[in-house]
Chains A and B, each alone.
Chain A
Amino acid sequence: MNKKGIDFTFSWIFAIIAGAVILASAIYITSQLINSSDVKRDTLVAGELANLLNPVETNLEDNKYSVIEFATDTKVYNECSTDGAFGIQRLSTASKSRDEWSEQSVRKSVYNKYIFSRKIEETKNDKLNVMVNPIFAPFKIGDIISIYGQKYCFVNPTNDIEELILDLSADGKQDIGINISTNILSCPANSTKVCFDRIGCDINVNTMSKVVSKSGKDMYYDGDNLMLGAILSDYEIYECQVKRLMKRASELAVVYSKKAIYVEGSGCSNNLVSDLQNFILVANINNSRDFVRQVIPIAKDLERRNNELASCKIF
């Protein structure tokens, strides 16, 4: 028996096995570390994204447009829940590195923001467009923050919408991701077509019945700002955000009704308390159709009656 030969073989086998184990574990640990750092980075991005949306909120301004730039291609996951007093807006991200998408990051929850978008919104050239429009019904409830990466083409929009788009794009000098066209054939090929008061587009808007139809589902709106939110959102996100907005409207109405009682005691007669309490009851809606049919008529009546109060308006 050749002892030297056996010893040599064993040491080689041992070296190969040990080397393979060490290499495999090193590769595994490294890939795990890279993955976890990707998730950590994406979680930070989601948090920063929520913070970045603070300065773009409106104050006295009517509408605003802004661009958020990312370091790399990014997917923004928009999740909406109606749980709790105000519902929850959850944001998370995933980024593309080495031609692969990372895992979805940990979700960042916020209660005072209403993001209207598709469930997964992807950046285009590392950018996302942000359009912010306030919503009043009858008092200011919040801001509709519409986030979109893809291109849209509005075919024959209403004058107000055309004016708004031209205003936000500085008369077409700035690309805000929305083109206006008089003909569906003139729209860019890769854009989502939106028809106003006609059919045949990816999204159809009926301004008479105040309905935005998308993927066979109808979203009801009141006012141009909510219409834009409906166009740029998925059905589930839109319905959830409208319900959340109504939850906040209800909470604000509670405060306003208390204020109405308080200032009435200070000699400021208003008779708005019962109307505000009625508003609180109807603000508990199931869908956007309820919002248009139930809430809007009462909100308009409240607005009219509040405007009649000269020196001591409630809202």
Chain B
Amino acid sequence: MNLLHVKYSKGQFKIQQMVFIIVAIIILFGIVSVFFVSIRFSSLRGDVDDLRKEAVLTQVRKMAGTPEFNWISSDDCSSCVDLDKLFLLKERNSYKGFWTDVSLIKISRVYPLYETSECTTESYPRCNEITLVNKGDFEAYESFVSLCRFDNEIKQTKCELGKILMGFEGVS
């Protein structure tokens, strides 16, 4: 059996030492940069979530101004919705799927409240809710509005406090 005699010079040792140090520095920098990037991304994700929530809230507030919701004399009321129109809209099958990316659209009365929850032909207008879309699985956002309609008893327009609830999938 032959034994191999390898001779290492001083210079070779130095090179080896330097390589180890360089590798260690690279690993250290790698760890630091991974740490930095993860922190940066988490704050970026937070910013994106905030922006999305803001956009969603704007969409909810804008809903009262759409042709299907807006109150007839909305020249002076941007947050007034036409309750009669919304109740009649509920019956229209053609509007199913009209609002894409929205899992919930509900108009809810805040005050005064009646005994019946969901509005039907029998209970309207003495009811509390009109649900236009409900697909389940959503994150809901709301905006306060005035629910206006022509009131038979007082023979003029009557507005009550309500809110629009809209649900979206995966906002954050």
Contacts and interface: CB of A to CB of B under 8 A. Distances in A.
A51 B101 CA distance: 9
13 contacts: A54-B62, A57-B66, A60-B75, A86-B94, A111-B97, A111-B99, A111-B100, A112-B100, A139-B67, A262-B84, A266-B152, A267-B152, A268-B150
Interface string A257-269: 0110011001110
A60 B70 CA distance: 10
B68 interface: yes
A51 B55 contact: yes
Given A268-B155, A311-B157, 15 more contacts: A54-B59, A55-B58, A59-B62, A60-B78, A86-B98, A111-B100, A140-B70, A141-B67, A251-B95, A255-B88, A255-B92, A256-B85, A259-B88, A263-B84, A266-B150
A263 B155 CA distance: 10
A69 B102 CA distance: 25
Contacts of B152: 266-268
Contacts of A244: none
B59 A85 contact: no
Interface of B: 55, 58-59, 62, 64-68, 70, 72-75, 78, 82, 84-85, 88-89, 92, 94-95, 97-101, 150-152, 155-157
A243 interface: no
B73 A313 contact: yes
Nearest to A136: B67
A268 B88 CA distance: 17
A261 to B, nearest CB: 9
A57 B60 CA distance: 12
Contact of A263 (B59, B65, B89, B150): B150
Contacts of A109: 100
B72 A55 contact: no
A313 B70 CA distance: 13
A254 B85 CA distance: 10
A242 to B, nearest CB: 16
Contacts, number: 82
Contacts of B156: 311
Contacts of A51: 55, 101
Contacts of B100: 109-112
A86 B99 CA distance: 11
A142 interface: yes
Nearest to B75: A60
A311 B72 CA distance: 11
A118 interface: no
Which 8 pairs show the lowest CB-CB distances between chains A and B?
A: A59-B65, A266-B152, A85-B94, A55-B58, A140-B67, A258-B88, A54-B59, A60-B78
Nearest to B54: A55
B73 to A, nearest CB: 7
A315 B62 contact: no
A55 B85 contact: no
Nearest to B72: A313
Contacts of A85: 94-95, 98
Contacts of A86: 94, 98
Nearest to A248: B67
B52 to A, nearest CB: 9
A312 B70 CA distance: 15
A58 interface: yes
Interface string A55-70: 1011110000000000
A4 to B, nearest CB: 24
Contact of A57 (B65, B73, B94): B65
Nearest to B94: A85
A39 to B, nearest CB: 20
